[in-house]
Amino acid sequence: MKHERNFIHKRNRLVLQLLICFYFLSLLLGYILQGNISSYPWIGLILIAGLCYIVWKQVAAKRTMYLILSVYFVYLFYVIMDSPGFSSYIFVWLGLVISSLYNRTKVILMAAAYTLLLTFITFTTYQDQFFSNNQPADIAYILLFTLFVSVFLIFQSNFTEQVWHGLNESQEKLKYILESANIITYSYNPISGIHTVSSGMKALENFSKTEKSSSPVLWKSLIHPDDLPFISKVEQEIYQGKTMAVEYRIQFSKTNIMWVAAKFFPVMSEQEPMLERIEGALVDITDRKKAEEKIEFLAYHDPLTKLPNRSQLYQYVHDQQRNRTFDYEKAFIIFLDLDSFKQINDTYGHQTGDQLLSLAAERLTRSLKKKDMVSRIGGDEFVAFINGLTIDEAIQVAERLQGALCSPFIVDGESISITPSIGISKFTSVDEDLDTLISQADAAMYNIKNEGKNGIKLYHYS
């Protein structure tokens, strides 16, 4: 309904502009050809002024549509009375043509009725001025011609309306699909530097549909600073006529960042090898990126404690071993096991046990340097890799970890105390096998378990 009202209002403005031009041209032609101005210029001025006010105020678009055509034929009647002749009458058919601009059958029928009535009155009242040989049958042919033009315009209007309706329906469906899929489509004119957005995401519905920019990339000012160098290279490829598909971030604020997948289609001119326009499409892929980040995180982290898992630990240690600055004589593996953890699960429940593991992981992480790594390899077992230390310093790190875990934990209002048994193994070569080191630290840890738990032991190398 709103779309139809807007369409009629736009047509009202167009028709009013045509009528204003017609009014002043008729005055000018009358002065040039006859040496005088119409006897009714004030009538035209009053009618046009009234119509301008109504159209400007957008008062009842449909009624205004009928009023404009009625005013046109009324004014034309005065013109014909003032200067009867075929040159005045011919503008009656112009009213039919103008009515077809609305693509409404009722409007054309109304214009046809006005035309037939005005034709009949004109040719019966001023027959001598129109036909010197006085043949009354000529009016029948003119009326028949008017009917033919009217019927033709009605069919043409209905056909055009059906085509427009089908086109609008297809566009609305496409727009709905694009917006449902969070897809923005736009066109960029490299000459004017104007982006024109044809469909958009709900997240960006408050943004302007047009933007002036020297870049073919839409809303470049919002692109994440880290992605700008990459986008600058993409722009160069686009201007060379290459179709580009890229992913980058749009930053609305420090915490509100949206990932988009963009594709740019340069359209080259057929006449000469130059860029005519660029068609672009943006797709919101934030959810996909978050899912990918989550999958990647879970591939290398323990889902409960968020600590690195065994895979990441192995990769990290392997990378360190390949580093030229790695000093194997100052590198150690610490194997840590929580004592009697099964009893905590049995007493307080597995949910409390899981919370306790998460809190223990936080304490272990805070107790190590950033260059070191602690991972959960299963159950209540943790493995830490430390380097750049002497044996005494490695033992001091283990004591720091022990002290961090011995302090009571508060879980759901309950104070729970735990102790760790810790074993330490030392690298003996650059390419030492990590599984062997973990097994050695594990063996040292079990010695502590057998000796009464809650202690630290260095693996004894025979």
* pLDDT band per the 50, 70, 90 thresholds, residue 38: low
Q: What is the CATH number of the domain that holds 231?
A: 3.30.450.20
- Residues 92 and 446: their CA atoms lie apart, in Å, by 108
211 and 95 share one domain:
no
How much of the chain exceeds pLDDT 70, in percent?
Answer: 85
Model confidence at 267: pLDDT above 60: yes
Q: Specify the pLDDT at position 381.
A: 95
The tally of domains found in the chain comes to 3
Residue 104 lies in a domain: yes
Same domain, 65 and 154: yes
What is the chain's length? 462
| Band of residue 418 on the pLDDT scale cut at 50, 70, 90 | very high
Q: Which is more confident, 331 or 134?
A: 331
State phi, psi for 413 to the nearest 5 degrees.
Answer: 85, -5
Q: 432 pLDDT band (50/70/90 cuts)? A: very high
Q: What is the pLDDT of residues 198-242, one digit of tens each?
A: 766 555 655 666 777 878 888 788 889 999 999 889 888 888 888
CATH code assigned at 385: 3.30.70.270
Structural contact between residues 306 and 378, judged by C-beta atoms closer than 8 angstroms: no
The answer on 206 and 92 residing in a single domain is no
Same domain, 107 and 157: yes
204: left (phi over 0), alpha (psi -120 to 50) or beta: alpha
In a domain, 405, yes or no: yes
- The answer as to whether 317 is a domain residue is yes
pLDDT in tens, 100-131: 888 788 888 888 888 888 887 877 777 666 65
In a domain, 134, yes or no: yes
- pLDDT reported for residue 144: 79
Longest dimension (CA), the chain: 137
- Answer yes or no: are the C-beta atoms of 81 and 126 closer than 8 Å: no
Lowest-pLDDT choice from 16-30, 96-110, 264-278, 389-403:
16-30
Q: pLDDT value at position 200?
A: 61
Tell whether 215 and 353 lie within a shared domain: no
* Rounded Cα distance, 187 and 173, in Å: 19
Query: Which pLDDT band holds residue 170 (cuts at 50, 70, 90)?
Result: low
pLDDT score of 440: 96
Beta bridge mates, 266: 278
pLDDT band at 35; cut points 50, 70, 90: low
403 backbone dihedrals φ, ψ, rounded to 5°: -65, -35
pLDDT greater than 70 at residue 180: no
Do 9 and 98 fall within a single domain?
yes
pTM reported for the whole predicted model: 0.55
pLDDT at 40 over 60: no
Residues 149 and 224 in one domain: no
What is the DSSP code string of 190-246?
TTTTEEEEEE--GGGTTS-SEEE-SSSSTTGGGB-GGGHHHHHHHHHHHHTT--EEE
Q: Which residues contact 220 (CB under 8 A, 6 or more apart)?
A: 213, 231
Q: Residue 363: pLDDT above 90?
A: yes
Give domain status of residue 142, yes or no.
yes
Of these ranges, 87-101, 104-118, 343-357, the one predicted with the greatest mean pLDDT is 343-357
Q: Whole-angstrom Cα distance, residue 331 to residue 329?
A: 6
Same domain for 17 and 91?
yes
Of 175, 199, 232, which closes a domain? 175
**Same domain for 214 and 89:** no
- Whole domain around residue 249: which residue ranges? 183-285
In a domain, 293, yes or no: no
pLDDT at residue number 173: 63
Q: How far is CA 192 from CA 204, 214, 230, 262, 362, in A?
A: 23, 9, 24, 22, 57
Which of 424, 436, 371 has its CA nearest to residue 398? 424
Report phi then psi at 417, rounded to 5.
-110, 140
210-212 β-sheet, strand order: 210-212, 194-199, 183-189, 275-284, 257-268, 244-251
**Do 161 and 189 fall into the same domain?**
no
Quick one: pLDDT band at residue 97, thresholds 50, 70, 90? confident
Q: Is residue 167 part of a domain?
A: yes
Is the residue at 294 inside a domain? no
Whether residue 448 sits in one domain with residue 305: yes
Residues 92, 40 share a domain: yes
Tokens 């420090």 locate to: 254
Last residue of a domain, one of 156, 175, 194: 175
CB-count burial class (<10 Å; 0-12, 13-18, 19+) for 165: exposed
Q: Tell me, what's the pLDDT at 79? A: 75
142 or 66, higher pLDDT = 66
